[in-house]
Structure 1
Amino acid sequence: MRNILILIEYDGTNYNGWQRQPNAASVQEEIEKAIYKVTKKQTDIYGSGRTDAKVHALGQVANFHTDSAIPTEKFAVALNTNLPDDIVILNSIEVPEEFHSRYSAKVKTYRYRVLNTPVRRPIERNYAYHVREDLDLDIIKTMAKLLIGEHDFKAFSSSGSSVKTTIRTIYDIKITKENDIIEFEFTGNGFLYNMVRIIVGTLIELGKKSTRYDIQRALMTGDRGFAGPTAPPQGLFLKKVSYNLDIKS
């Protein structure tokens, strides 16, 4: 059996997330159906992590085992001919037997896009969070620095996760603005359920000069009440997952 890694880009608008589930469209299911069409065998694929409904990916990683004779580099081409237009395999490579897309991951990077305009723009409705109010970008950047490093991010996670620890490390946060789009980019060793969206929701409220939320107290107490609302899913993109491998798109 060979262990095949695939690098995936998808528009999550029409899916109820990455994970296969009954009675709802998922990215995982679409790719597994494509693998079946190509290999004629039912195959489970393992993603680097789940993305929620309407969340996108520029560099999702998954792996699967197969005894198919298809050349490794041809898997991407073969699968793409059987995938819908909103999912594409950017690359396929063979990896060691022990490699697992989730457990072998070292670093993840997420991007979040905010459209900051008084009037909404329909063309961005599926790819950005529309915020009408003026935002103080200096305050947002200053507050974001408090999140860099190793912290207990319990206050920045939603219930429903069974993780052993809520301690994570954020290595870097980049915040840029071009025209009316503000982009947040978070790089860390892992992220809790809805962690990026809650951080963005908190920073946005602070950028409105709200005094209701407090990042330092949220980190110290783990109290969800000190963190802001969960930003909507459509602005979120899984940008990159890094391993001790050279994965080219």
Structure 2
Amino acid sequence: MSERWLKLTVAYDGTAYAGWQIQPSHPTVQATLMEAWRAITGEQVTLTASGRTDAGVHALGQIVGLRTASKLECARLVQALNAKLPEDVVVTGVESAPNGFHATHDALTKWYRYQIHNSRVRPLMDRRYRWHLPQTLDVRAMQAAADLMVGRHDFACFETTGSERSSTVRTLTRVGVGQGGAAGEKIDFDVEGDGFLYNMVRGITGTLVEVGRGAREPQWVAEVLASRDRRNAGPNAPAHGLVLVEVRYA
């Protein structure tokens, strides 16, 4: 029986899940998607994802690769999957992929966004998706610190223990700080690069917040990078403010 490779784009609210990767006793996005696929096609497929988002982390553009013998058209698969999936997981697209497509290894860049609600009043509608910080943050200072992270560096200082990597060197093409909302209360950190270490974006966020609240000067970030020591950086920001926005391929 002939098989084909597909690329799925998946969005999800990670609040109720113990991350992407399947676990024996906790709900995960991978297991949820596999169950929906099996219900439609009868297949037990292997799913590869562009990144293993942690518990509570969200996605707008998670990319999932698989090989299937199903002949269902891509548009029909989108409809069928969404009819089976819970309301907090949505397949936004299905398309053909090259033979041997691997969502992790074939990715060129990933774009993450960390979202903050910077106001004395805590958010209501965004409470699941933004980290509430009541102390006013200095956006210009944070951007000055963020600029020091752009380029190819050893980012060991932002890696949390728990994942074995052959190298901690990565290239970041963008670390931007944006501000919006009626009173400037919405602050977003956009981080894009060729790869990320375990909890790296959350560590970067916690470090930029230290600068934003005036505890550190922007130049401190250069010292943190040079140290290659996680103990010298800021704390990890909470998981619920992090979103995987987009993954780019050739």
Superposition TM-score, scaled by structure 1 size: 0.95
Q: Give the match for residue 20 of structure 2.
A: 18
Q: Give the match for residue 220 of structure 1.
A: 226
Q: Which of 200, 203, 218 is the equivalent residue of 1:198?
A: 203
Matches of 1:7 and 1:41, distance apart in 2? 19
Give the superposition deviation at 1:127. Answer: 0.4
One-letter code of the match for 2:100? E
One-letter code of the match for 1:149? G
Give the superposition deviation at 1:122. Answer: 2.9
Q: Which moved more, 1:228-237 or 1:176-185?
A: 176-185
Q: Over aligned residues, Cα RMSD in angstroms?
A: 1.2
Contact 1:6–1:91 under 8 Å retained in 2: yes
One-letter code of the match for 2:196? F
Give the superposition deviation at 1:123. Answer: 2.2
Q: Which of 217, 224, 231 is the equivalent residue of 2:237?
A: 231
Q: Which of 39, 46, 51 is the equivalent residue of 1:44?
A: 46
Provide Cα deviations, 1:114-144, integer angstroms capped at 9, x if missing partner.
0001121232221000111111111101011
Provide Cα deviations, 1:181-221, integer angstroms capped at 9, x if missing partner.
00111111111110000000000011111139931122112
Is residue 187 from structure 1 mapped to residue 192 from structure 2 by the alignment? Answer: yes
Q: Give the match for residue 65 of structure 2.
A: 63
Matches of 2:217 and 2:229, distance apart in 1? 13
Q: Give the match for residue 29 of structure 1.
A: 31
Contact 1:215–1:226 under 8 Å retained in 2: no
Give the 5 Å matches for 1:1-249: 1-179=3-181, 180-211=185-216, 214-244=220-250
One-letter code of the match for 2:191? F
Structure 1 unaligned spans of 5+ = 245-249
SS in 2 for 1:81: helix
One-letter code of the match for 2:238? P
One-letter code of the match for 2:48? Y
One-letter code of the match for 2:189? F
Give the superposition deviation at 1:72. Answer: 2.7
Q: Which moved more, 1:26-35 or 1:170-179?
A: 170-179
Contact 1:74–1:92 under 8 Å retained in 2: no
One-letter code of the match for 1:228? G
Contact 1:198–1:228 under 8 Å retained in 2: yes
SS in 2 for 1:41: coil
Q: Which moved more, 1:3-12 or 1:115-124?
A: 115-124
Structure 2 unaligned spans of 5+ = none
Matches of 2:85 and 2:103, distance apart in 1? 21
SS in 1 for 2:38: helix
Q: Give the match for residue 247 of structure 1.
A: none
Matches of 2:217 and 2:235, distance apart in 1? 11
